[in-house]
Amino acid sequence: MTYHFDFAPIWAHRDLLIAGLARTVAVSAVLVIALLLGIVVGTLAAARRRLWRFAATGAVEMTRNVPLLIHMYLWYVGLAFLRLPPFLCAVLGLAIYSAAYVAEIVRAGIAAVPHGQSESALALGLTRFRTLRFIVYPQALRIVAPSLASLFSQLIKDSSLASVITVSELSFAASAIESDTFRSFEIYITVALIYLMLVMAASRLVLLLPGAHRPLLRVRFADA
């Protein structure tokens, strides 16, 4: 039996796909929130004070060792009395979950910067905040940029779980189109290609950050 490909029904529902893609991009934009939370927690995890390190490490371990879907269900079902919209539940779940991984990446990046540079900056009169801002963070960014790009790619793919709590992102749109057209292969191969292009574009964008280049990364390791 020969299968006859027919992408015409998929094209007829392109508006749903475009709307789902836009919602996927919007959900994936939580990387900004994850970065902010992760930088704070990662910095605390690399701090000298043992209490801060233990608190940050405990928060990271408890967060990333719980499945992402459970994080979303916690906001959507467990805290249903808050009556949060599904989109916000997905954003909160993804942001907190991803922030734990960002924190571990940031902690490793800070640890890779030679400690003597921080000591020298403090000896020259810089405050700890300025030392982090002007000395440690710029170098750490070069080291962790590839890992952040990989994390962002994973975040985009993980955003498909938001369809389980009725967020009308790309996977949700694909399911709706499939149930209407019964062209399962065509719609899911189309969505797979869209995810592929989106992930590749996002990875390139992260690596375009100032200083986030592999040649500089090799120089940093050589200096260390």
Q: Where are the domains of the chain?
A: 8-223
What are the tokens at 139? 């170098």
Banded model confidence at residue 143, pLDDT cuts 50, 70, 90: confident
Nearest to 141 by CA among 121, 122, 113: 113
CA 127 – CA 118 distance, rounded (Å): 10
pLDDT at 133: 86
- 181 CB-near residues (< 8 Å, 6+ apart): 9, 10, 13, 187
Judged against a pLDDT cut of 60, whether residue 224 lies above it is answered with no
Category of 32 on φ-ψ map: left (φ > 0), alpha (ψ -120 to 50) or beta: alpha
Report the percentage of the chain scoring pLDDT > 90: 56
Superfamily for domain range 8-223: MetI-like (1.10.3720.10)
Nearest to 112 by CA among 204, 38, 213, 222: 222
pLDDT at 212: 55
CA 41 – CA 64 distance, rounded (Å): 13
Each residue of 109-135: pLDDT tens digit? 998 988 888 888 888 888 888 888 888
Report the chain's mean pLDDT, rounded to a whole number: 87
Judged against a pLDDT cut of 60, whether residue 220 lies above it is answered with no
